[in-house]
Amino acid sequence: MAVLSEEQTMLRDAAKSWVSEKSPVTAFRKLRDSGNADGFDRTAWSEMAQMGWAGILIPEEFGGSGLGYLTLGLVLEETGRTLTASPLVSTALTAATALLLGGNDAQKKAWLPKIAEGKAIATLAVDEAAHHAPARIALKATKSGTGWVLSGKKTFVLDGGAADLVIVAARTSGKSGDTSGITLFLVDGNAKGLSRQKLKSVDSRGVANLSFDNVEAGADAVLGSVDHGFGILEATLDRARAGLAAEMLGSATQAFETTLDYLKTRVQFGQVIGTFQSLQHRAAKMYTDLELTRSCVEAALSAIDNNSNDVAQLVSLAKAKANEVYHLVSNEMVQMHGGIGMTDAHDAGLYLKRARAAEATFGSAAYHRDRYASLLEY
């Protein structure tokens, strides 16, 4: 655990207790079984917003606390522990970041206060296929009069079904795969011509496929500058990846601790199974991986707060490690629980499903290994 300021410690502890009281895993299970179409609980979200979590990144002038990414990471780690499904990632982390990095004053005034209050759900729409690929943007934005018209599709958009604001990465010149020629647009979630298909994903989070059929956007809808949106997009994604990695670290840590408790109580062959050395060594290795991953996640978040020049490297490191450790721990959680871990009534399956969904979001481990190697030029 990083060395925290008093403010950070208080917020972390507040998150810990709220999550255990108001949002245990059973709450997520109920949400899942209720077939809630949003994929999150709006009452819980407004409570989170009241505690100031939606505005952790947002400066005070826009109604937030501006505490930064390491602080938001602390909260995400706690909500991750109980698989809390909320717009923290889509709205408070990703969309808020895009507005902060690329928005002009009017755009910030229009959206940041609403986000901080928890009144607006916002999200970033990037990918157009099954795998994360930020430069593979084909969704077309063409000039029409003073404004623009958007046509194309976006896939697996987090909270895309509930979003009031969709920040869309569109192609304004060049071809899919080019990093230049990408422009970000602010599009109203209910804009004419925008149809949203809510998906039933394995981890029951609210994701949607969006299709844009000549959706109109005014000149003032452009976030940042035309054709040069990729810089903001990548910077936004890196912050989203680091925050998601923190959430995954929390989930993996809880999955590990739950499993460790089981190892200490389940008896077979007249022994608590935690006394079997092969399980002990596997547990010790998981603990080691969790500690290594924590260092990477905290380093990435701090680097973002300090505007270090190695943010990209550290973020790909953090996301890759978080993917690997959550992958390992979620598999071991099922295996070490044995048959009971295979039942839907047990939590192991929930952690396993969330793990794979989070692994695939904003880049798989292989994606970030490739990126890391490319950043190091080999």
Binding partner at 348 among another protein, a second copy, none, C-beta below 5 to 8 Å by kind: another protein
Give which of a second copy, another protein, none residue 82 binds (C-beta under 5 to 8 Å, depending on kind): none
Q: Is 225 helix (H, G, I), strand (E, B) or coil?
A: coil
Given another protein, a second copy, none, residue 195, with its beta carbon under 5 to 8 Å by kind, binds none
Judged by beta carbon, residue 133 or residue 273, the one nearer a second copy is: 273
- Shortest reach from residue 285's CB to a second copy, in Å: 10
Q: What are phi and psi of 161, to 5 degrees?
A: -75, -30
Assign 3-class secondary structure to 317-341.
HHHHHHHHHHHHHHHHHHHHHHHHH
In the complex with another protein, which residue's Cβ is closer, 119 or 264?
264
Rounded distance, CA 57 to CA 75, Å? 12
CA angle 50, 107, 144 (to 5 degrees): 140
For a second copy (CB under 8 A), the number of binding residues is 5
Nearer to another protein by Cβ, of 102 and 250: the residue is 250
The CB-of-267 to a second copy minimum distance in angstroms stands at: 16
Binding flag, residue 173, a second copy (CB under 8 A): no
Of the ranges 87-95, 148-156, 272-280, 291-299, which one interacts with a second copy (CB under 8 A)?
Answer: 272-280
Q: Are 318 and 300 in contact (CB under 8 A)?
A: yes
Q: Minimum distance from CB of 176 to a second copy (Å)? A: 23
Residues from 273 through 312 that contact a second copy (CB under 8 A): 276-278, 280-281
Cα separation, 110 vs 188, in Å, equals: 12
Where do we find the tokens 């997520």?
Answer: 28
| Residue number with CB closer to a second copy (104 or 280) | 280
Nearer to another protein (CB atom), residue 177 or residue 218: 177
Q: Which of 298, 360, 369 is nearest to 131 (CA)?
A: 360
Distance separating alpha carbons of residues 234 and 236, to the nearest angstrom: 5
**Site residues, a second copy (CB under 8 A):** 276-278, 280-281
